[in-house]
Structure 1
């Protein structure tokens, strides 16, 4: 899980300068979900909200049809998204628990979002709706990730091949037998 440096969310310029995936994963998830629902590329999607217990952070909004979910990660299985979110927050905050609720408000309405301690579209440095529209259309046309032997792979458009991704801090990536990092230990 990516952790923002202190103060970035309070600084409009620094927040706007974040890469799309981090921008929509740290505070603008409601804008991404609301934009997706305005012109859904697939039928049957609705918004769901992860609401952490009192005193904890970790609020998140995504869209789902009950099986497939879409958020700043792109498309994935709903259960996988929920497991990832819970595992990430629980590893940083002992006793972290949440509930899942269907979104029953307009995700692009400033008043409704502010009532739930989220920013509305007109409270960012620039309009995030075109940015969200571009991000979601990019994600819907991207080739799906494939997993082989536990190693995450991504499509490289320039060569037309899949290549492995290793995250600097991801124990799963660096503990694969035969990997360069495992040989250096």
Structure 2
């Protein structure tokens, strides 16, 4: 989990966010794009995009892809229960009392404003709303991700 706390990297400053290292970029504001590209290129048949939706009053949204007993995000491939335990632990270290629910979302919601708007509290930036097109960047990042499991 990355947390951007500086004034120099507000979500509205698209150029500065674009300049972040890939892992941070895909952790903090472009996770949906990476999930979309993964679903298009590598996803097994049982893959499902999941929104980690923080409880009211909390921050820490994130999109992952879940399949079998694994998840995929900017970490690469991780055992699902280990990933979720790690995510909750890190979020609670920073935000005491943090909690969230896992919400299945459709693949088209990952890159299109309209479909993402049907989920209460979810707003995902579409590719055309970034400083540059993030899809090729996500494809290049995905090509470098080892295909084996990673321990978070």
The count of aligned residue pairs is 146
Q: Counterparts of 1:30-179 in structure 2 under 5 Å?
A: 30-40=32-42, 42-104=44-106, 106=108, 107-113=110-116, 116-140=122-146
Aligned-pair distance for 1:68? 1.0
| TM-score between the two structures when normalised by the length of structure 1 | 0.71
Aligned-pair distance for 1:145? 5.2
Match of 1:156 in 2: none
Separation (CA, whole Å) in 2 of partners of 1:121 and 1:114: 15
Aligned-pair distance for 1:41? 5.2
The runs of 5 or more residues in structure 2 that have no matched partner are: none
Secondary structure in structure 1 of the residue aligned to 2:2: coil
Separation (CA, whole Å) in 2 of partners of 1:47 and 1:57: 19
Q: Which of 1 and 2 has greater Rg? A: 1
Separation (CA, whole Å) in 1 of partners of 2:89 and 2:128: 32
CA RMSD of aligned residues (A): 2.1
The runs of 5 or more residues in structure 1 that have no matched partner are: 147-151, 153-185
Cα-to-partner distance string for 1:71-125 (whole Å, 9 max, x where unaligned): 0011110111111111111111121111111113511213334662221111000
Cα-to-partner distance string for 1:133-161 (whole Å, 9 max, x where unaligned): 111121045x6658xxxxx9xxxxxxxxx
Aligned-pair distance for 1:66? 3.3
Q: Which has the higher contact order (CA 8 A, sep 6+)?
A: 2
- Larger fraction in helix: 2
The 1:41–1:111 alpha-carbon spacing in structure 2 relative to 1, beyond 3 Å, is: closer
